[in-house]
Amino acid sequence: MTGTPSRRGWPEQTIGIVSPLLLLVAWEAASAAGLLRPQFFPRPTLILGHALDLALDGSLGRHAGITTARVAAAFALALVPGVAVGLAMGISRRVRDGLDPLFAVTYPIPSVLFLPLFSFVLGPAEAALVATSAMTSFFLVAYTTMTGVQQMDRTVLEAATHFGARGRTLFAKVLLPGAMPFIFTGMRLGLGYALIVVIAVEMASAQQGLGALLWLSWGLLKVEDMYAALGAIALLGGGLLWMLDLCRRRLVPWQPDVAGG
C-alpha cells in the first residue's frame, strides 16, 4: 500500500464543485424558459433570496440551531453506549450471544416507530424525539464497533500479548485503537441516521427545527421556504460529516485516507 496522504488532485475536486453548480444553472435556465413549473420548481435565485430573508430575520438560524442540538444529543446518546456495547460484544462471546437475538429483531424496526412508545414513557417532548433519533444510530455504532474488534488480525493480537499487553492494557492499547477505524465508520453512518430521524420526527410532530420549517412551509405552499429548509438540511448534514472526518483524521492518523463508510 502506498500512503500518499492527498490522492485527490485538483481536477477531481473541481468536478465535485462544478457539477452541482451546473445543475443549478440548468434549473435556473429551465425555470426562466418556462420548462419547469414555478409552483414546484421555483428558480434557485428566488429560493436563495428567500433563504437570505429567513437567515436575516434569524428564523433559519434558530431552526438550524435547534435541529443541530437535537442531532448532537441523539448522536451522543447513541455513541457512548453504542461503542461500549459494541466493544463488549466484540470481546465477549457470551455478551454477543446474549444480545444478538434482541438486536436482530429491534434493529430492523424503523426508528420513527419508537416515537409513540417514547412519547408515552418520556412525555411528548424533546426527550422522546432525541431517544427516537438515537435508536438506529445506536445499533449501527454497536454493530460496526463489534465488527472492528472481531476483524482484528490474530497475529497482531498474538504479538501484542507476547509483548506483555494483557487485561486492561490489551483493551486500551490494542482492542480500542484496533477498532477505531470501524468505530468511525459506524459514527459516520450513525450521524447520518440521527439527522434523518430528527428531521422525520420534526416533520411529524415538532413546531421548531428545520424539519418542522420544511413541513410547515409546504403546508402553507411557501415552496421557496421549503427549498430553503431542504438546502439548509443538506448543508447541515454535509457540515457535520465534514467535521467528523476532520476528527477521524486527527484520531486515526495511522490510516491513509479511505472513503469513509
Partner 1 sequence: MPAGGGRPKVQLSEVSVAFSGHGGTVLALDRISLDVAAGEFLCLVGPSGCGKSTLLRVCAGLVRQSAGEVAIHAEHPGTPLTAMVFQEHALLPWRTVLDNVVFGPENRGVPRAERQAHAREILVLVGLARFAHAYPYQLSGGMKQRVGIARALANDPEVLLMDEPLAALDAQTRTIMQEEFLRIWAELGKTVIYVTHSIEEAILLGDRIALLTSRPGRIKQLFPVTLGRPRGLEVRASPDFGALVDKIWAELREEVLRATADDTGGSPS
Binding interface with partner 1 (CB under 8 A): 1, 3, 153, 155-156, 158-165, 169, 173-174, 177-178, 180, 252-256
Q: Rounded to the nearest whole angstrom, what is the least distance from the CB of residue 237 to partner 1 in the complex?
A: 29
In the bound state with partner 1, the residue whose beta carbon lies nearer, of 97 and 158, is 158
Residue among 179 and 214 whose Cβ is closer to partner 1: 179
- CA–CA separation, 78 and 121 (whole Å): 18
Tell the smallest beta-carbon distance from residue 148 to partner 1 (Å).
Answer: 12
Question: Based on CB atoms, which residue is closest to partner 1, 242 or 254?
Answer: 254
**In angstroms, how far is CA 40 from the centroid of its own chain?**
28
| CB 202, CB 209: distance < 8 Å | yes
Q: Which is nearer to partner 1, 91 or 95 (CB)?
A: 91
d(CA 169, CA 163): 11
Find the shortest distance in angstroms from Cβ 152 to partner 1.
10
**110, 135 Cβ separation under 8 angstroms:** no
Count CB atoms within 10 A of the CB of residue 236.
18
Secondary structure (DSSP) of 183-246: HHHHHHHHHHHHHHHHHHHHHHH-SSSHHHHHHHHHHTT-HHHHHHHHHHHHHHHHHHHHHHHH
Cell 481536477 -> residue? 11
Pick the closer one to partner 1 by CB: 13 or 169. 169
- Residue of 68, 77, 69 lying closest to 142 (CA atoms): 77
Q: Residue 165 Cβ, how far from partner 1 at the closest point, in Å?
A: 6
Nearest to 240 by CA among 179, 183, 196, 182: 196
Nearer of residues 98 and 256 to partner 1, judged by Cβ: 256
